[in-house]
Every structure is written in C-alpha cells, then in structure tokens.
Amino acid sequence: MRKTILLAAVLMLVASVAHGQLGTTAPTATVAVNVNAEAALTIQTTALTLSQSGTNFTDYSGTTNFTYFIRTTKSGGTGSIVLQVTSDFSPAGGPSVGTPPTASDHLYYSCTVPNPSNGTATPCTGPVNSSTGSQTNVAGFNADSRSPKAGVASSVTWGLSNDPLYQTGSYTATITYTISAS
C-alpha cells in the first residue's frame, strides 16, 4: 500500500513536469522582413496635347504630371527617373525627334521633381532635348531617399519646336518613363 502511494506521488510529479515542457504561457515568434529599394511611377497625364497660342510660330508646350514612389538603399543607394521617346511622332510630315526636318527642331523638357520625405531629388535643369536613341534624365535621388506613401507629385514641362516646315495635321509620339532604385 505504501509502495502504491509512493508510486502514484512520483507519477503525478513527473506528469506535472512533463506538461510544463510542452509550452509556455508567453510564447514568442519572430517575424522578419527585408525592406528593399523600390520604385514606382504613376502618370496622371497619360495623353498630353501640346498646344500653342497665337499664329506666330511660338513653340508648342504642355505639361505631363506624374507621381513617384521611391525608396533607395540606406547607404550607397541611388535612384533615377528617366524618359525616352519610344515611338516617334507619326504620321510622317510633321515633327520628329529622331529625324527632325530641320536640325534645330527639338522636343525638349524641363523637370519639376520635389524632394521625397527623406533624401534629395535632383531634377533635370531644362531644357533637355529628348531622344529616341537613349534615355534622358528627369531626376536623380541619393541614398536613403524615401517618398511618402502617397508619392510625390511631379511634372515634366514640354516644348516642341514649331517649324513652318511641318505639314498641318495631328501627330503623336509615345514617351516611356522609367524609375529605378537601388
């Protein structure tokens, strides 16, 4: 009888200790995330019509509005926004970026790119002549540049030579903007 009681007491003690080893009252878990450099761009003015006032061959002009979102690496990071005329004006007979009818004809632009919440934006200093052959600068960003969640409203203001040589008509070109961050 004494042996039985002793065995029961030992078993109860062991059972209690064993239960304690299965969990705790305040368990913890680790959640990890890698926040990388990222960038995105939203163009508000998806179809811009350049216009001019008067009849004295002043240049055509207009503004493309866009919003950028950026995060560059904290140390050593950089970012940029560039653009390229990926489809030249068409149909033929009017303005052209790749093969302008007069050498001095240009599609040029200036940039308004405010700073992100943290870091610095360096907008292009216009006029910058756009190109079909390569990307041209809109803005650069330094390390640890971080925009607000809603992005930063920015714009590119265009100018297009008004060459009398252009035949009357409507002409359209496509511009591709690229934002990158590292």
Partner 1 sequence: MKKKLRSLTILVTALLFTAPLLRAQTSTGTTTLSVTVAAEAALTINTGTTNLTSTGTNFSTYTGTTNLTYFLRTKQSTGTGSIVLQVTGDFSPAGGPSVGTPPTAGDKLNYSCSVNSPGNNGAATNCANPTTAATSGQTSVATFGADNRSAIGGNTGTVTWSLTNDPKYQTGSYSATVTFTISAN
Which residues contact partner 1 by CB under 8 A?
A: 34, 36-43, 45-51, 55-57, 60, 62, 64, 66, 73, 86, 89, 94-95, 101-102, 104-105, 107, 158, 160-182
The nearest distance, CB 42 to partner 1, in angstroms, is: 7
Nearest Cα neighbor of 140 from 116, 124, 117 is: 124
Q: Quick count: other Cβ atoms within 10 Å of Cβ 18? A: 9
H or E stretch at 17:
helix 2-20
The nearest distance, CB 24 to partner 1, in angstroms, is: 18
Residue entry with tokens 């756009």 = 130
The nearest distance, CB 12 to partner 1, in angstroms, is: 28
CB-nearer residue toward partner 1: 5 or 33? 33
The nearest distance, CB 4 to partner 1, in angstroms, is: 37
CB-nearer residue toward partner 1: 11 or 176? 176
The nearest distance, CB 7 to partner 1, in angstroms, is: 31
- Cβ-based neighbours of 34, under 8 Å, separated by 6 or more: none
CB-nearer residue toward partner 1: 20 or 164? 164
Nearest Cα neighbor of 124 from 133, 114, 112, 141 is: 112
CB-nearer residue toward partner 1: 107 or 111? 107
CB-nearer residue toward partner 1: 139 or 181? 181
- Cβ-based neighbours of 15, under 8 Å, separated by 6 or more: none
Q: How far is CA 156 from CA 29, 86, 88, 112, 138, in A?
A: 48, 16, 18, 6, 8
